Amino acid sequence: MSFLSRLLKFLNWSNSAKPEISLDTELYEQLKPFRFPLISVVLLLLFGTLGYIFIDNFSLIDAFYQAGMTFTTVGFTEVASITPKGRIFTITFILVGFIIFTLSIGIVVEVLKRGTLISILKERRMLYKIARLKNHFVICYHNLYTIELSAQFRENHIPFVVVDDREDIAEIAQIYKYPYFIKAQPHTQIAFLKTHLSSAKGLITLSPNIADNIALIASVRLYEKEIDRKKPYHIITNSDSEDDTQRLKKLGADNVVSPSRLVAQRLSAMSVRPDMENLLEQFLYTKSSPIDIEEILVPDYSWIRFKRLKETHLRNITNADVVGIRDINNKFIPMPNGDTLIGTGTKLLVIGTVDGIRLTKRLVKSKHKPEELKYV
């Protein structure tokens, strides 16, 4: 990469994706105090250059060189002999330059000490990184659930952005290794723009206060209509009661997780069938497990539509088993036999190795019959 390319990338002037919201106004506001030092230095050098030209008849380049050398007090010898008037002018020029230099340093230190300029530059850089994300998840509110969820997302290489209005969100992001984060009220338009929600896959709101979750879900669904999004956001949230669960689903949540119910189910499974729980812990809940399970949607263009399960020969090709089928009416068929028909909108519950499931997904989402089956 050339120096010019690196410079453009550092200044965010490259042709990469741009954020949906600009911080230029805030940045220019913070840079305003630097106008006095810059203008003062330019005027002072102009004053010194003209002074040496009129007092000691210096050429333009010699006068500018002498003015710059005097202002910076580098201590070089004079470019030409200076008259007594010129020496008085030089002393005055040094004193004025020292005053302006001191004031300028004070202004620069004060601006940097406030930290706002540095924060804006860091946030601006973060916005450009987030603008390059596609099909990511926006996780709202930092808590224990967010910490665990972010760890799972990192392990599975799922891009995500954490948004919270806490003052210490930057320190939290560094501690818990959040790659992307935004400080803002999650339900506001600014948060939607900064997190690049328009290109996100979905949103996860994990506030312990149901009012926050309700406000956020309603805001996201309204934003969805504003941008005329074709595919709805996948919204996941949490609740502590059945009433709250039903209310959140009516408002537009796709999935509502009840921590108390999950804990109770897990404890029940451990109590009744501890061996089965250990088996699940070993094979399904660990990242390095050779076995995985996934539900695969059969698209309208798939070649396996309107075929019987045995006619697809998925088991022979991928070494993965279809252990359940959910039809378009949400009716679940456990352990389907070979004569089960795969219809429109069917979901296949597949268990097998990670590679086997990946191959099964590719075959199911293909328009054309695989080469292995063309002569079967």
User: What is the pLDDT at residue 83?
Assistant: 84
Q: Tens digits of per-residue pLDDT, 211-246? A: 999 999 999 999 999 998 888 999 999 988 888 888
User: What is the pLDDT at residue 286?
Assistant: 59
Please name the residue that has the structure tokens 């008849």: 57
When mean pLDDT is compared across 174-183, 289-298, 341-350, the lowest value belongs to 289-298
Structure token pair of residue 180: 């992307």
Crossing angle between the packed helical segments 60-72 and 35-56, to the nearest 10 degrees: 130
CB distance 111 to 117 below 8 Å: yes
Phi, psi (rounded to 5 degrees) for 42: -65, -45
CB distance 277 to 270 below 8 Å: yes
DSSP for 289-324, written as a single string: -SEEEEEEE--TT-TTTTEEHHHH-HHHHH--EEEE
CB distance 238 to 213 below 8 Å: yes
Strand arrangement, sheet containing 137-140 = 181-183, 160-164, 137-140, 202-205, 234-238, 255-257
User: What is the pLDDT at residue 205?
Assistant: 94
Cα 57 to Cα 50, 92, 94, 163, 294, distances in angstroms: 10, 18, 19, 64, 87
Taking the C-alpha atoms of residue 149 and residue 155, their distance in angstroms, rounded to an integer, is 10
Report the helix count and the strand count for the chain, using DSSP H and E: 16, 12
**Which contiguous run of DSSP H or E holds residue 234?**
strand 234-238
Structure token pair of residue 36: 């006095």
CB distance 259 to 240 below 8 Å: yes
User: What is the pLDDT at residue 293?
Assistant: 83
Q: CB burial class (10 A; 0-12, 13-18, 19+) of residue 312? A: buried
Residue 50 vs residue 118, higher pLDDT:
50
Domain coordinates of the chain in residue numbers? 33-114, 133-257, 290-373
Strand partners, 324: 334, 349
Give the global pTM.
0.69
Length of the chain: 376
Average pLDDT over residues 89-95: 88
Topology alike, domains 33-114 and 133-257: no
User: What is the pLDDT at residue 7?
Assistant: 62
User: What is the pLDDT at residue 230?
Assistant: 87
Average pLDDT over residues 113-122: 84
Q: What one-letter code names the amino acid at 131?
A: A
CATH class of 33-114: mainly alpha
Taking the C-alpha atoms of residue 349 and residue 341, their distance in angstroms, rounded to an integer, is 14
Instruction: Considering only the C-alpha atoms of the chain, give the largest distance between any 2 of them, rounded to a whole number of Å.
Output: 110
Spatial CB neighbours of 79, under 8 Å, sequence gap ≥ 6: 58, 62, 65, 66
Please name the residue that has the structure tokens 């949540």: 253
CATH code of the domain occupying 133-257: 3.40.50.720
Taking the C-alpha atoms of residue 121 and residue 67, their distance in angstroms, rounded to an integer, is 34
User: What is the pLDDT at residue 34?
Assistant: 87
Is residue 97 over pLDDT 70? yes
CATH class of 290-373: alpha beta
Taking the C-alpha atoms of residue 275 and residue 61, their distance in angstroms, rounded to an integer, is 89
Q: Tens digits of per-residue pLDDT, 300-320? A: 899 999 999 999 988 888 889
Average pLDDT over residues 1-9: 63
When mean pLDDT is compared across 112-126, 150-164, 265-279, 285-299, the lowest value belongs to 265-279
Q: What one-letter code names the amino acid at 353?
A: T
Cα 66 to Cα 48, 222, 314, distances in angstroms: 8, 65, 85
Taking the C-alpha atoms of residue 210 and residue 141, their distance in angstroms, rounded to an integer, is 12
Instruction: Look over the chain and give the mean of its residue pLDDT values, rounded to a whole number.
Output: 85
Is residue 46 over pLDDT 80? yes
Is residue 140 over pLDDT 80? yes
Is residue 137 over pLDDT 80? yes
Nearest to 332 by CA among 313, 314, 308, 348: 348
Residue 353 vs residue 267, higher pLDDT:
353
Q: Tens digits of per-residue pLDDT, 65-79? A: 888 888 877 766 677
Taking the C-alpha atoms of residue 196 and residue 11, their distance in angstroms, rounded to an integer, is 20
Phi, psi (rounded to 5 degrees) for 50: -65, -35
Taking the C-alpha atoms of residue 297 and residue 319, their distance in angstroms, rounded to an integer, is 19
CB distance 295 to 347 below 8 Å: yes
CB distance 152 to 212 below 8 Å: no
